[in-house]
Amino acid sequence: MAEIRLYNTATRTQEALTPLQPGNVRMYVCGPTVYDRAHLGNARPVVVFDVLFRLLRQAYGADHVTYVRNFTDVDDKINAAALARKEAGVPAPLTDLIRERSDETIGWYHADMDALGALRPTKAPRATDYIAQMIALIDDLITRGHAYVAEGHVLFSVESDSAYGSLSGRSVDDMIAGARVEVAPYKRNPMDFVLWKPSSDDLPGWDSPWGRGRPGWHIECSAMARDLLGESFDIHGGGIDLTFPHHENEIAQSRCAHPDGEYAKIWMHNEMLQVEGKKMSKSLGNFFTVRDLLDQNIPGEVIRFVLLSTHYRKPMDWTEKKVADAVRTLDRWSEVFAACPDLLDEAPVALSGDAEVVTALSSDLNTAGALAALHGMIKRIDQIAVDDAGRTAELRVFLASVSLLGIDLASYAKRFLAGERFLSAEARLDDTEDWVRIKLRTLLEARAEARAAKDYARADFLRDAIISAGIVVKDTADGFDFELTDQYDPAKLEALTP
RNA sequence: GGCGAGUUGGCGGAGUGGUUACGCAGCGGAUUGCAAAUCCGUGCACAUGAGUUCGAUUCUCAUACUCGCCUCCA
């Protein structure tokens, strides 16, 4: 087994993973705030850390990896969504609507991430189930002099933590100088952040020593990680935008409350996702959800493939070309199994996967390198005779290697071999009007007749005409097929005469 | 203003102190009535300047440009 090396944001270097408890790895990843469908950006960390989860399970054993990913179900946006429903006339108490909204969103989230082939984490706690632990943690921080009560709020005192700012590499003074937040007058230091805040009567709230209220954003992760993983654990992950303030504040809370623990040892952050070269952001409104893509008939395996084709620490640009390339690659990989479809129905074998693939993944999750290694494998396999037993053995290793990336090639290939095509000509034609299909069919059949009569001049003339409308004509063993290209233009097709 | 990341061939995208990434596109060949698809083979690169070194795309510094975070955000 190759040594697993991971880039640690906290030290800004790559480090070998050595579990604090030998043979038992503990990982916490910040999960979604469940107010709406997961957008594509939400999917990136899920897929990235799922690959890590799979790698760790293989290296240490499935029962020796604990992966916790939370659901944040205390949030203004959830409240707003519930409030909007109430105002729309839904006759139910607001708290019920809030709970309903969270439940519904969590269900969506699981379904969408399942479609991307992500394994469920070992534990998926909800913040609202850990209010008591949060209150205890806050109480502890007050006792230890790291937090104070002011006007119904409990605030963390950043000046009480000499290490504050170490993860994100900034000093408290720098932060104050560049702060663009309005500073509440009751804060002792402008950077002090909320641990607990009062709740109005019409919003969710819990009784606490400081009155009815609700927790601040950061405390939930500290409380759940403490409860489920302990004071020290191995890996903490999330999007790079969480580095500050979320993770910085988590560290501060946890280390100050548990001075003997070091909280997370390795901090991993995935870079952001862009769409066609532009930042994907809610405020710009150019984002789309995972469900949108699935509904466009883009298979989950394809989405996952694209997400893994760029290293997790680099910004990734989501483009239609990448989707098309991924479809193409998965189609090719599927075709290799045409001669041995039974392999696809075999139960997953306990193979460790190709050494090159494992080495790439072990080197700070080099998923792009792993995909390159898979390309090499398939090339080698292609050169082995179809009836050679060695080919079957190699294909099993190939499948095991692909599944280490969480790409369910067996499922994809079975659908492909059964004739399913994604982004196919037929699928695209389905969106067009009847006359297009009739016209195209007329032209294609006219050409087939010309070919049958060996009137190649006419056949080629017709094919050139169809090509000029952006449609590629293919002759197959049992007839013909066609494919729409980027130049496909219905207007040109309409102008053609047989 | 503060913090951080990046700049690789036509495009996407890894990696390395001296040697092939890989994929797509291109080109040549096999195949085909001719094509398409497929298979085989193949050319093309490391932002700029300086330094360290026997040798740098790879290390150091500077410059330019791009991007992200500092505010809910993965």
List bases, strand B, within 7 Å of protein CB. Answer: 1-6, 11-15, 21-24, 32-40, 67-74
CA of A189 to C1' of B52 (A): 46
Listed as ranges, residues in chain A with pLDDT below 50 are 425
pLDDT digits (tens, 9 = 90+) for A98-127: 888 899 999 999 999 999 999 999 999 999
Q: A479: Cβ under 7 Å from strand B?
A: no
Name residues 96-135 of chain A with a Cβ under 7 Å from nucleic strand B: none
How confident is the model at residue A485, as a pLDDT? Answer: 67
Considering only residues 25-84 of chain A, list those whose CB is below 7 Å from strand B: 30, 32-33, 39, 41-42, 44-45, 77
| Predicted pLDDT of residue A427 | 53
Q: What angle do CA A95, A247, A157 make, to 5 degrees?
A: 85
The predicted structure's pLDDT at residue A11 = 87
- Which residues have CB under 8 Å from A35's CB, separation 6+? A75, A77, A78, A80, A81, A101, A105
pLDDT of residue A288: 85
Q: What is the reported pLDDT for A489?
A: 75
In the prediction, which pLDDT does A291 show?
93
**What is the per-residue burial (b if ≥16 Cβ within 10 Å, else e) of A32-60?**
bbbbbbbbbbbbbbbbbbbbbbbbbbbbb
Residues 304-343 in A having a C-beta less than 7 A from any atom of strand B are: 309-311, 313-317, 321-322, 325, 328-329, 332
Q: What Å distances lie between residue A16 and A8, A10, A56, A343, CA to CA?
A: 10, 14, 13, 36
Closest residue by Cα to the C1' atom of nucleotide B33?
A456
pLDDT score of A1: 60
